[in-house]
Structure 1
Amino acid sequence: MSFPIRSTAFAALAAVLLAVSSAFAEPTTVTFVHTNDMDRMEASGGKGGLANLMAVVKAERAAGEHVIFTHGGDAISPSLLSGFDKGAHMIDLLNAADVDIMVLGNHEFDFGPKVAMERIAEATFPILGTNAIDSDGEIIDGAIASWTTKAGEFTIGFFGLVTPDTTEVSSPETVSFASLEATSREMSAKLREEGADLVVALSHTGIEEDFDLVNAGTGIDILLSGHDHLLMSYYNGKIAMMESAAQADYVSVLEVTMDRVERRGKQRFVWSPSFRTIPTAGMEGDAEMAAKVDSYLKKLSLELDVEIGTTTTQLDSRRASVRGGENAIGNLISDAIRKGVEADVAITNGGGIRGDKIYDAGTVLTRRDIQTELPFGNTTVKLEVTGAQIVEALENGFSQVENGAGRFPSVSGMTVTWDAKAPAGSRVKSVMVGDSPIDAAKNYTLAANDYIAGGGDGYSVFKDAKNLIDPAAAQLMALMVVDYVEAAGEIAPAVENRLVPAE
């Protein structure tokens, strides 16, 4: 008679132990594979590109049980092909990459909100736009406020943030961007109320905005960011933050181990991060994605052979011409970028003009011609500079003309008198901005390519200038020139005494 009693007691005890043990979740590791700021589909110099990215993602998915592939925004622009299909190819490629979740970036608005909504609708993955509010007071059509997923017994909640600077550096038109901090507080609380254990902000925000969010105590556990093109991982014991440079030159991986522990008689959720950085240089890309990218590169080749307009004057891009004096093609390019960002003046360097050929008057120009002349993928930035900084930049531009240096300037919005025989550093004799002498103390807006804006070719003076449109938000220089020629249909650039040799 005692045996059944013992068996029953044992069974009851086992049931209690099972219930207790099941109240505690098993430790679970989730892997976040993160990329951001990736508008270039192909590798460059053996690194980056979607085929290499896909190879990393597939390897991580094969190695981990719970893997989330995140994209921190800026995909559909700027690139040469996006200038023709408004970024549709990138959404198609990201669909093939099986992205889990993406946030809108400022470049998603480069073609206006209507195109942004079209691209969102084409995506087979969810796109966050939590603080991207249209004129009706709702999130831009197609984007979502939050997304949740499970990893083992744990719930992970995401929301998305887009930098409010988008209103200044892109073309969101009717779309505005709510406060990053207020949105973060509201969504962190909401997601936790809905059962999220871990709250992730997938953001396209600047580094100062990132640290403001980290330090504000908004309830975020993890911030996966983009926009600055920084390679960064950070953990302060409470919040983890990560950004993955740009173009998938590197892929950032964050492994988070989640658990529940009992403290003072209560179960508490705990987590810990581990960071990895995977350089893609020299790796073997995913063959299937490489084939898909190649099909778009062939399409791009066809797009480049499209006629855009006619020049009724001769254009001379030979090395000596663009590095030795005022020239018509330099004037064309500097005019195009000045108009493209609506700046007071523009400066571009002769070393960035590389076609090394003559286009006779009457030549029908193609997109390929412009790409040949501007092959480096430079973008057009907008700086706020003083008159004194402009003069210093011009002195640098003329400082090595006798050596045929690439720093020689082409300008727009200015007339500069200069003396090639004077000592370097004192060759600028006068500068007129429009019809007025330059004012050393006055602020002007300047269009320039991102290379010289970052101090390239000796233009170090620009490194201290205020960015109004920085490289992360800028559009391709070549596309600005294409758009400029297409809009005109017929152009007649000429040497018109912008750079006047002193007598």
Structure 2
Amino acid sequence: TSQRRCFYSSFAHMNRVVYIVSGAALISATPFLGKEPSTANKVSITLSTTNDVYSMYARPMSGNGYFFEGTPSADFYSMCEKDGDNCYGEAAAKGMPEAAVGKLYEMDMPATGGKVMTNEDSGCVDPSLFDDMVRDPSTAWGNTAQMAGTYKYLGLTADTDEYISMLPGDFVAMSYLSSITYGEHMVDMMNAGEVDLVPFGNHEFEFKNECPPADMANHPEFNDVCVAWNMATGNFLYLGSNVYEDKEKTVRSGSKLEVDDEISFVNATVPKNQKVFAEEPSFYAISGNYWYKMVEGKKVCFAGTTQTSAAQSMIDSSRIWLSDMIDAGVDATREMNEDGCNLVIVLTHESEGFDVLFWRKAVVEEGIKIDAIIGGHDHFPAFLNLQHPTKPDLITPVWKMGMDGQMLGKFVFDFDDENPNGKLRFAHAIPVFDGQCDQHFVGTDNEEWWNNNVMQTWNHWVEPIKPMAETNVTNLLFKGFYDTADIRSAESRVGNMLADLFLRNSSVPLAALTGGSIRYSLSQVFSERIPLTELYLYEENPFLGGLVSYDMSLMELFGYVIYSAPIVMGGSNAARPVTSGFEVEIDPATTKHG
């Protein structure tokens, strides 16, 4: 493919873009809703989001998520102050209401409009199939082609003056495919889905300056940083309120980004995204601290933050600099309010505990208006409507959608004489199911977009991993007491155990792990044998709980296990911690072990 380039300038600009759909072309598909014309005093905007997308394929999920509507307790704040990364898992284990777990299709949250997931707002999913599909544990959620289609469909059917799509971080890595493409596959899929805004996830910095397709030697404009190449090839804007290009921390990453007039990927060429890269007015605040867009006279503003501790170990400290994400978020939202923003949205890539602490500092302690905190980094769905302790009518949605594009969040805000600074009409979780978007694009004016931009891009990038994706790993079993509640990160866990098994079965040293990257400590007796892959996922996903049979492919196993910790290609096996204290057996009922 031809090398794609980026340019930097002091300011960039934008215009409003309007989708026009021909009704005559929608004979065989569900009709798209028309947008109601705005009046001088009535304006509306739709936002969509998902986060942490690694797998190209769909798979079953438990259908559970965290939910909470109210004011967090002092005990919960204290837990998150001690360990912002793990306080939700700890709170759930203690049965605290702040970390209640429920079925997505049963959650009812009045502050955000009632049902979190409803067939009345089902995205690409056929409403008549909705109830059965969301309750069926075998339903496959996700697939990046369906994710791209859902993004597009939500924009086409939005009955608002503007539609902005977002993905709050982690798409460049971590996955087995990203070790081949250096994130190019996901940048292309996001280009296909017409994503507008992203903050930096910690895994956006995974490759530092080692990304051969970028041809760094001939592209000094990348400043020897792989993420600059990813930025140049994307048709979306990066928000980095606490991510800097210089040691003095005067230039925020992304704030000077421009792209070519045309963006090419696989078999498609599209014009640069006019919503974020158009001519006027300037889309970044002079400080570079937030991005804004004028929508029918309303100033809608977005900032993005990245968890400092999670990204610090991955960045090239001579090329990227970070500041504290909570302080940066407070500064950005204060500036947005002082600059007259009518809508204030913060995209965060940090653990949910830090989201809550950020909300407390900004909204409760400093009285800063934030209309929504839309997050990533955690791989679980979480729907929190946080209520101000002394102003009960002031409620801030703090939502994140899980992982792998299995759901999109949809937020609709209205502005009128009574609510000049916006009011949330509703927020919903939109499921993404395999094979559902085709019905909305085949036979319409968007069929060529669907076949060429989306499906050809998806098929191109999954080709190298099809054999691995079609090989399930279910015959390595574990039984007994598994305890990682007080284990050092450099010692063996199930991730290292699986890596050991791969290494023993390889003709050459393949990978050396310095430690697992598991979010939840686990101390549990497994009286029945379970696959090691499921054991690994118990630690990564708190909602498995035996609720779903999870057959994990070899490709996903490489992504979630091998690539969940630093890799040393060709490293010495002698220096590695060895697996101890576990007994693993080959399933005696299986004759082929791979």
Per the normalisation by structure 2, the TM-score is: 0.52
Aligned match of 2:247: 135
Contact 2:302 2:344 in 1 (8 A): yes
Structure 1 residue 296 displacement after superposition: 0.2
Q: What is the one-letter code of the residue matched to 1:292?
A: T
Kindly indicate whether the alpha-carbon contact (under 8 Å) linking 2:496 and 2:516 is maintained by their aligned counterparts in 1: no
Q: Secondary structure at the match of 1:269?
A: coil
Structure 1 Cα separation of the partners of residues 369 and 177 of structure 2:
40
> Helix, strand or coil for the counterpart of 2:341?
coil
Q: Please name the residue that 2:232 is paired with.
A: 121
Q: Which one of the candidate residues 284, 289, 296 is aligned to 1:145?
A: 289
Q: Contact 2:489–2:516 at 8 Å: present in 1 too?
A: no
Q: Distance in 2 between matches of 1:475 and 1:170?
A: 17
How many residues align? The count is: 365
1:108 — aligned with what? 204
Distance 2:563 2:326 in 1: 35
Q: 1:458 to 1:348 in 2, by over 3 A?
A: farther
Matched residue, 1:381: 517
CA contact (8 A) 1:350 1:408 kept: no
> C-alpha displacement at 1:127, in angstroms?
0.5
Q: Higher RCO, 1 or 2 (CA under 8 Å, sep at least 6)?
A: 2
For 1:95, the equivalent position in structure 2 comes to 191
Offset of 1:476 from its aligned partner? 3.3
Provide the rounded CA distance (Å) in 1 between the counterparts of 2:155 and 2:519. Answer: 43
296, 299, 305: which one pairs with 2:461?
296
Q: How many angstroms does 1:82 deviate by? A: 0.8
Are the equivalent residues in 2 in contact too, given 1:76–1:82 (CA < 8 A)? Answer: yes
Matches of 1:62 and 1:111, distance apart in 2: 35
2:423 matched residue in structure 1: 271
Q: Which runs of 5+ in 2 are unaligned?
A: 1-38, 61-139, 210-224, 256-287, 388-392, 439-449, 480-486, 547-557, 584-594
Give the structure 2 partner of residue 177 of structure 1: 322
The CA deviation at 1:107 is 1.2
Q: CA deviation at 1:242?
A: 2.3
Alpha-carbon distance in 1 for matches of 2:195, 2:499: 38
1:73 Cα deviation (Å)?
Answer: 0.7
- Alignment partner of 1:199 out of 336, 344, 359: 344
CA–CA distance in 1 between the matches of 2:292 and 2:241? 14
For 1:342 and 1:254, the matched residues in 2 are separated by: 41
Shift of 1:61: 1.4
Looking at structure 2, the residues matched to 225 and 201 of structure 1 have their Cα atoms a distance apart, in angstroms, of 8
TM-superposition CA deviations, 1:199-256 (whole Å, max 9, x none): 1111112212212222232332221111123232526343333221211211110111
Aligned to 1:76: 172
Q: Secondary structure at the match of 1:226?
A: strand
Aligned to 1:345: 491
Q: Look up the match of 1:59.
A: 153
Inter-partner Cα distance in structure 2 for 1:343 and 1:228: 19
CA separation of 1:180/1:347 partners in 2, compared to 1, >3 Å: closer, same or farther?
A: closer
Aligned equivalents of 1:76, 1:171: Cα separation in 2: 13
In the alignment, the residues of structure 1 paired with residue 565 and residue 343 of structure 2 have an alpha-carbon distance, to the nearest angstrom, of 47
- Root-mean-square deviation over aligned CA pairs: 4.6
The residue identity in structure 1 corresponding to 2:333 is S
Does the aligned pair in 1 maintain the 2:301–2:343 contact within 8 Å?
Answer: yes
More strand by share: 1
SS of equivalent to 2:344: strand
Q: Do 1:166 and 1:172's aligned partners in 2 also have CA atoms closer than 8 Å?
A: no
Structure 1 residues 291 and 91, CA, compared in 2 at 3 Å: closer, same or farther? same
What corresponds to 2:136 in structure 1? none
- Equivalent residue, structure 2, for 1:17: none
Following superposition, the deviation at residue 291 of structure 1 comes to 2.6
The match for 1:43 is: 58
CA distance in 2, matches of 1:318, 1:43: 18
Matched residue SS, 1:345: coil
Equivalence for 2:383: 232
Q: 1:188 to 1:141 in 2, by over 3 A?
A: closer
Alpha-carbon distance in structure 2 between the residues aligned to 1:155 and 1:500: 58
SS at 2:428 equivalent? strand
3-state SS in 2 of match to 1:173: coil
CA distance in 2, matches of 1:500, 1:257: 56
Q: In 2, distance between residues paired with 1:56 and 1:240?
A: 22
Give the deviation of 1:182 after TM superposition.
Answer: 3.1
Partner of 2:133: none
Q: Secondary structure at the match of 1:346?
A: coil
Q: Does 1:161 align with 2:305?
A: yes
Mapping of residues 287-366 of structure 1, within 5 Å: 287-288=450-451, 289-300=454-465, 343-348=489-494, 364=507
Q: Which amino acid aligns with 2:397?
A: A
CA drift at 1:142:
3.5
The structure with the larger Rg is 1
Measured at CA, do residues 52 and 269 of structure 1 come closer, stay the same or move farther in structure 2, by a change above 3 Å? same
Matched residue of 2:492: which SS? strand
Paired position in structure 2 for 1:14: none
CA separation of 1:86/1:301 partners in 2, compared to 1, >3 Å: closer, same or farther?
A: same
> Does residue 182 of structure 2 align to residue 86 of structure 1?
yes
User: Does the CA-based 8 Å contact 2:58-2:141 persist in structure 1?
Assistant: yes
Q: Distance in 2 between the 1:94 and 1:318 partners?
A: 32
Higher helix share: 1
Contact 1:117–1:140 at 8 Å: present in 2 too? no
Structure 1 residue 293: Cα displacement:
0.9
Native 8 Å contact 2:200 2:239 kept in 1: yes
Change (3 A) 1:355 1:59: same
SS state at 1:165 partner = helix
- CA 1:169–1:228: 2 relative to 1, 3 Å: farther
Give the TM-score normalised by the residue count of structure 1.
Answer: 0.60
